[in-house]
DNA sequence: AGGGTTTAAGAGTATTTTGTCTTAATTTAA
DNA sequence: TTAAATTAAGACAAAATACTCTTAAACCCT
């Protein structure tokens, strides 16, 4: 699996927030309902994202979380890095520590290119772009397709 | 992590076999020693590869495992598919089941290209090519670099 | 034939990931 | 000021992954 489940859930919920109108907070309960993700698990994931500065949270009624930046300014890479870390984009395909230009494994050259391709794709893609595409083409971001773009 | 540890170990040991001269069997004990991988864990991984038809095994003295095909005929993709399965090459980046051309997620188009890039890199690379490169440039395939190309 | 060597198979353990539950702290609004 | 709503935090449980160990089966050699 390329990304952990926590990371995938983090991406889906970030996408959800990017599609929300206005700059108010969205409650985690609503997100967990709409996206069909365990409330408590999602809470922990979003805590990581707020810890990383990508979201900010607010307690109490009318509380919830929201993006700290405009969706157009948040790349998927930032979210992945915040949850799964950057190891995927630096590690050796054969799992050898310290593999790099100086001390490569036989697969290093080829894998480095592929790896950069993954990173660039994530860096090149922002939340707003995906939210607008999803809204325009009515694409799903949940398993059952129950989510309606806002 | 892109590949499981079992898969990474499977790749390293396949690479080891591809670098072995002659067509005799190589004992799993020797491989686990040379590659610094737990003997019993490696045994189970190689059983998967023999089950998939990529290797064949032989018991008793002079026993061990060997590739069923020439190293030049074995792509990394075959090994990864045998151990980790092909899910990585078919799954949705957002984890949505059934995501594809017909029922895509907002990230599908971009991810499909990236995903194919990973697959093609693995399909395009064979064991002999890596073994020769490793031998020629004296590259490591173990953490401590203790392995000497045969 | 018999003993040593090697893979096969499966049970058992440890660690990480995933998910659940409870309690505390904060905030809004009546 | 009090009650309801909401996130924060941490303990706990379940599942998947990563190993470890033991016993069985097959094989070679003397």
Residue B139, Cβ neighbours under 10 Å: how many?
20
Residue B69 has a pLDDT of: 97
Residue A150 has a pLDDT of: 78
pLDDT digits (tens, 9 = 90+) for B21-58: 888 999 999 999 999 999 999 999 999 999 999 999 99
Q: What is the dihedral of CA B47, B81, B18, B114, to 10 degrees?
A: -160
Q: Which residue of B has its CA nearest to A124?
A: B110
Residue ranges of chain B with per-residue pLDDT less than 50: none
For the residues A113-132, what does the mean pLDDT come to? Answer: 98
For the residues A5-20, what does the mean pLDDT come to? Answer: 98
Residue B22 has a pLDDT of: 86
For the residues A33-47, what does the mean pLDDT come to? Answer: 97
Q: For residues A118 and A140, what is the distance between their CA atoms, to the nearest angstrom?
A: 22
DSSP state of A75: B
For the residues A91-97, what does the mean pLDDT come to? Answer: 96
> If DSSP codes are grouped into helix, strand and coil, which group holds residue B56?
strand
Residue A93 has a pLDDT of: 97
Q: For residues A112 and A88, what is the distance between their CA atoms, to the nearest angstrom?
A: 11
* A146 pLDDT more than 90: no
Residue B126 has a pLDDT of: 98
Average pLDDT, chain B: 96
Residue A69 has a pLDDT of: 97
Residues 54-113 of chain A within 7 A of strand C, judged by CB, are 58-63
Residue B74 has a pLDDT of: 98
Contact A8 B105 (CB under 8 A): no
* A22 pLDDT more than 90: no
Interface-testing mutation among A12, A71, A95, with chain B (most B C-beta atoms within 10 A): A95
The domains found in chain A, sorted by start residue, are 5-137 (1.10.10.10)
Question: In this structure, are residues B142 and B35 in contact, taking their beta carbons and an 8 Å threshold?
Answer: yes
- For residue A145, the chain B residues in CB contact (below 8 A) are 103
What is the band of A17 on the pLDDT scale with cuts at 50, 70, 90?
very high
The ipTM (two decimal places) reads 0.93
Cα B142-A99-A5 angle, rounded to 5 deg: 95
């Amino acid at each position: 699996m390329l990304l952990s489940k926590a990371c995938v859930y983090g991406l889906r919920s970030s996408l959800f927030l990017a599609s929300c109108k206005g700059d108010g907070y969205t409650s985690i309960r609503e997100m967990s309902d709409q996206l069909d993700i365990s409330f408590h698990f999602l809470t922990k994931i979003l805590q990581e994202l707020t810890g990383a500065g990508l979201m900010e949270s607010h307690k109490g009624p009318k509380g919830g979380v929201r993006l700290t930046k405009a969706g157009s300014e948040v790349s998927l890479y930032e979210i992945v890095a915040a949850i799964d870390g950057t190891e995927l984009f630096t590690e050796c395909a054969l799992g050898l520590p310290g593999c790099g230009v100086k001390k490569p494994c036989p697969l290093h050259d080829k894998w480095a290119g592929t790896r950069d391709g993954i990173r660039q794709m994530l860096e090149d893609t922002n939340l707003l772009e995906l939210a607008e595409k999803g809204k325009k083409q009515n694409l799903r971001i949940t398993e059952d397709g129950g989510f309606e773009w806002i």
